[in-house]
Amino acid sequence: MTKVIADITMSLDGFVTGPDPDLEHGLGHGGEPLHEWAFSNDPVDAAQLSTGTERSGAVIMGRRLFDIIDSPHGWNDEVGYGAREAGSPPFFVVTHAAPETRRLELDFTFVPDGVASAIEQARKAAGAKDVVIMGGGDVIGQALDAALVDELRLHLAPIVLGDGTPLFNGVGRIEMRQTDVQISPHAAHLTYELR
């Protein structure tokens, strides 16, 4: 059965980017250590990345994240969805307006009527695989707050950023059940089932 999975890397103090993310610094200034696990050769990290990419039948992201990955400093033939896995599921971008042009030649659908609509469209496209909300923090927060997520996967990086983009900004109380923990030197990979 298709699950809706929110999957994102977070610092120990709850940030999904460092301060001031922009097109040249997608993870914010000093935020690169967040994704160190995605490029490590550690077998735990590699299994997380490979399995997560393989299970992704459709992917949802916000417009700010799309602009970052579509920028000249964003994804390319070697690094894309799933880091080195460079998967190519259909992507659904939650936005008020579609961009006039784009660099990447992947399957992007721009959804102007909110995260719930993006999830509904992504479910149809995912087939038997999962729908993954990859970010940013605001889109994941909206989906969590609206109780649209079945599972939360956090890749907890061993860094305190002190500032940046918070994951749970404006999200109300949510109870979860921890179902899995995998540890590497680069991250604690935590899986939660939402109640």
Render pLDDT for 18-55 as a digit per residue (tens, 0 to 9).
999 999 999 999 999 999 999 999 999 999 999 999 99
Instruction: Indicate the SS3 state at residue 64.
Output: helix
With a pLDDT cut of 90, the percent of the chain lying above it is 92
How does residue 83 score in pLDDT terms, banded at 50, 70 and 90? Answer: confident
What's the pLDDT tens digit per position in 53-65?
A: 999 999 999 999 9
Note the pLDDT of residue 84. 79
Across the chain, mean pLDDT equals 95
pLDDT at 132: 98
pLDDT at 82 over 90: no
Residue 51 makes CB contacts below 8 A (sequence gap 6+) with none
For the chain, give the percent of residues with pLDDT over 70: 100
Q: Which CATH architecture has domain 4-194?
A: 3-Layer(aba) Sandwich (3.40)
Residue 124 makes CB contacts below 8 A (sequence gap 6+) with none
As given in the structure block, the two tokens for residue 144 are 């969590």
- Residue 166's identity, in one-letter code, is P
pLDDT digits (tens, 9 = 90+) for 172-186: 999 999 999 999 999
Strands (E), the chain: 4-11, 15-17, 56-62, 91-94, 108-111, 130-135, 151-157, 165-166, 176-183, 188-194
The pLDDT, as a whole number, for residue 47 is 96
Query: What are the angstrom distances between the C-alpha of 106 and each of 80, 142, 175?
Result: 10, 25, 36
pLDDT digits (tens, 9 = 90+) for 104-146: 999 999 999 999 999 999 999 999 999 999 999 999 999 999 9
What confidence tier does 86 reach under pLDDT thresholds 50, 70, 90? confident
